Amino acid sequence: MHSVSSQTETFTDVLDRMNKLKDELKELQDSLGKKAFIPENILNDTKMKALTGFTKGRFSCVYSFLNVEEDLQMEDFCKRPVDLFSLFLVKLRTGISNEFLSVLFEISDSTVSRYFTFVTTVLYEKLKLLHIFPSKSKVVKSMPTTFLKTKTSILKTKTVESLLTVLSFQYRNLTVQQMTFSFYKNTNTLKGMIGIMPSGTNSFISLLYCGSISDKELFIKSQLKDLLEPNDVVMADKGFQIEQELQKIS
């Protein structure tokens, strides 16, 4: 009986040690989890805004609004969808290198690049469906005081046009080289058009076209004219010879 009792006590001690080790392991996992670079561990709005451009609450709202949880799970990644979204925003907000992000997120720099490209593609497919061009009433409502103090015609300004020029590599195909070459920039470029509300908010973004395209042709191909209403005022550089095109709006 004494021998059995001794064995029983020893077995109980083993169970106690196992339970203790489990508790210690859980504490260690919790400790490591708190140190992980994930949205939940960014403790205040100041740090979150510095990293992503959003407060913690706004970050959650934007993530929910975009509804990309399932889309970001399509690939077999080791990170959660919300972590991929966080990485994307940190890269976009800070512009830090993939090598630095690889340290923060504990992945390789090539994986950072793959994640960023994947999230960019997913968000593009989502955001291109949104109609961001404002109504005239919204433009007037957000009109800066600087515009309100100027001429009456300025008050009707709906969009300020600006060119977006993207440097492109030199293509081997001579025809493509010629199409993308910009004499103004003296290099191969792609060109797009951006519409900006008087308040400074982007209201229109066109596709990119070959750098040799004229400003007028770019305006026509961008189909911005289809979004304008009669008597809308468009501010642009004097190089934009689009007055006749605007007069056709009815």
Q: What is the pLDDT of residue 33?
A: 54
With bands split at pLDDT 50, 70 and 90, how would you rate the model's confidence at 4?
Answer: very low
Mean confidence (pLDDT) of the chain: 82
Q: What is the pLDDT of residue 6?
A: 45
Round to whole Å and give the CA distance between 205 and 138. Answer: 18
Greater model confidence, 102 or 5: 102
Tell me: the pLDDT tens digits for 122-180?
999 988 888 888 888 888 888 887 777 665 555 566 677 676 677 766 677 888 888 88
- For the chain, domain boundaries: 39-128, 136-248
- pLDDT, average across residues 192-218: 88
- pLDDT, average across residues 62-73: 93
Res 225 pLDDT > 80: yes
Res 84 pLDDT > 60: yes
Tell me: the pLDDT tens digits for 40-64?
988 899 999 999 999 999 999 999 9
Greater model confidence, 88 or 22: 88
Tell me: the pLDDT tens digits for 14-49?
777 777 767 765 665 565 555 788 899 888 999 999
Q: What is the pLDDT of residue 177?
A: 83
The dihedral over CA atoms of 34, 84, 164, 97, expressed in degrees to the nearest 10, equals 60
For the entire predicted model, the pTM comes to 0.65
With bands split at pLDDT 50, 70 and 90, how would you rate the model's confidence at 5?
Answer: very low
Q: What is the pLDDT of residue 91?
A: 94
With bands split at pLDDT 50, 70 and 90, how would you rate the model's confidence at 68?
Answer: very high
DSSP character string of the chain: -HHHHHHHHHHHHHHHHHHHHHHHHHHHHHHHHHHS-SGGG--SHHHHHHHHSS-HHHHHHHHHHHT-TTGGGSS--SS-HHHHHHHHHHHHHH---HHHHHHHHTS-HHHHHHHHHHHHHHHHHHHTTS--PPPHHHHHHT--HHHHTS-HHHHTEEEEEEEEEEE-PPPSSHHHHHHHEETTTTEEEEEEEEEE-TTS-EEEEPPPEETT--HHHHHHHHTGGGG--TT-EEE--TT---HHHHHT--
Greater model confidence, 239 or 138: 138
% pLDDT > 70, the chain: 83
Q: What is the pLDDT of residue 156?
A: 60
Residues 6+ apart with CB under 8 A from 164: 191, 192, 193, 194, 205, 208
Give me the phi and psi of 30, to 5 degrees please: -65, -40
Q: What is the pLDDT of residue 82?
A: 95
- pLDDT, average across residues 188-203: 88
Round to whole Å and give the CA distance between 8 and 65. Answer: 59
